[in-house]
Amino acid sequence: MNKISCLNISKTFVVEGNNIKVLEDINLTIEKGDLVAISGQSGAGKSTLLHIIASLDEASSGNILYDKNPKEGHSNLALSNIRLNNFGFVYQFHHLLEDLTVLENIMIPLQIAGSKNLNNALNIIDEVGLSSRINHLPWKLSGGEKQRVAIARAMINNPDFIFLDEPTGNLDDKNAIIIQNLLLDISKRNNIALVTATHDNKFIKSFDKIYYLKDFNLVEA
């Protein structure tokens, strides 16, 4: 996949019978290799927009195109395969399975895809600097190391786009910088687009396309 296009995306939640508008007529194009940052106040809709783009949530109106193909034209199975094979996800909290080792956590998407490419997993573990932790359980890892495991897991199926929801939000400054540099290096070397929703102004400065979500709309910085 080379491009994602958002066309007039709007989102309204219904809460106790009341319509709560979050997004209105959002237009955005993301191409492979792009660095796209979406900032804004808490509750502005950053994560909601990220989830809609990545087909984790539905827009109330508007269209998402994957390359030139409307999202609505895909079956649920096809969308699931796109998320598995074309997208990677990294969140503020790593969501590792505590009873699985580093290697086993990273291998989960491969197993879902029916692959046993151990060499690819080992290469990615080396790329994120965790070769010495390969058989460790998550409770033995630091916060920064856990996030590196999450990044490796996001990379394991060679995605075209990685979606980052506050990826440094739970880290101290030192580990935040390590994770930022790792993500940017991975993007550059593998031509992977990074799409992040974040409050981290230091991280945002490294991105090519910076947007601010305000009054339901995206404003280019």
Using one digit for the tens of pLDDT, what is the confidence trace for 119-131?
878 888 888 888 8
Using one digit for the tens of pLDDT, what is the confidence trace for 54-87?
998 999 999 999 988 888 777 888 888 888 889 9
The pTM assigned to this predicted structure is: 0.89
pLDDT band at 50; cut points 50, 70, 90: very high
d(CA 30, CA 215): 22
The pLDDT assigned to 27 comes to: 95
pLDDT at 135 over 90: yes
Find which of 15-24, 106-115, 118-127, 164-173 is predicted with most confidence, using mean pLDDT: 15-24
Helix (H) or strand (E) holding 31: strand 18-31
Residue 19's Cβ-count burial label (10 Å; 0-12, 13-18, 19+) is exposed
Determine which of 11-25, 103-117, 200-214 has the lowest per-residue pLDDT on average. 103-117
Percent residues over pLDDT 90 in the chain: 33
DSSP 8-state class, residue 151: H
Mean pLDDT of the chain: 87
The pLDDT assigned to 83 comes to: 86
In the chain, the domains with their CATH numbers are: 3-220 (3.40.50.300)
d(CA 55, CA 80): 9
DSSP 8-state class, residue 39: E
